[in-house]
Amino acid sequence: MPVLMQEMPELNSMLDEIADDRTVPRNIRNMILEAKNSLNDRKFEFAVRINNAISILDEVSNDPNIPVYARTQIWNIVSMLEVANEKLK
């Protein structure tokens, strides 16, 4: 669990970067913020938070209006979350 806590600031920063990018459509930025909020929601266990965020980000990455570079960033974040999820098992 401490490893995930160390990665949280980096993940939040990466999500903020996409959410603050005005070239990304607003609906996608809103979903990015939703994923970030889900990831930081302390009402749930880490595994639930990670899986919720992955689910939202997976849906976002399939949106045809997302810029290619943002999709790549999202895939990178999802990869990091999947690794963190495996460490929790």
Q: What CATH number corresponds to the domain at position 57?
A: 1.20.1440.50
In this predicted structure, what is the pLDDT of residue 67?
95
Query: What is the rounded distance in angstroms from the CA atom of residue 44 to the CA atom of residue 57?
Result: 18
With CA atoms as reference, report the closest residue to 75 among 83, 89, 45, 44: 83
Contact 24, 70 (CB under 8 A): yes
pLDDT in tens, 20-55: 999 999 999 999 999 999 999 999 998 999 999 999
**pTM here?**
0.90
The residue range of the domain holding 27 is 2-88
DSSP-derived 3-state class of residue 11: helix
Would the pLDDT of 1 be above 60? no
With CA atoms as reference, report the closest residue to 78 among 20, 11, 16, 33: 11
Structural domain count, the chain: 1
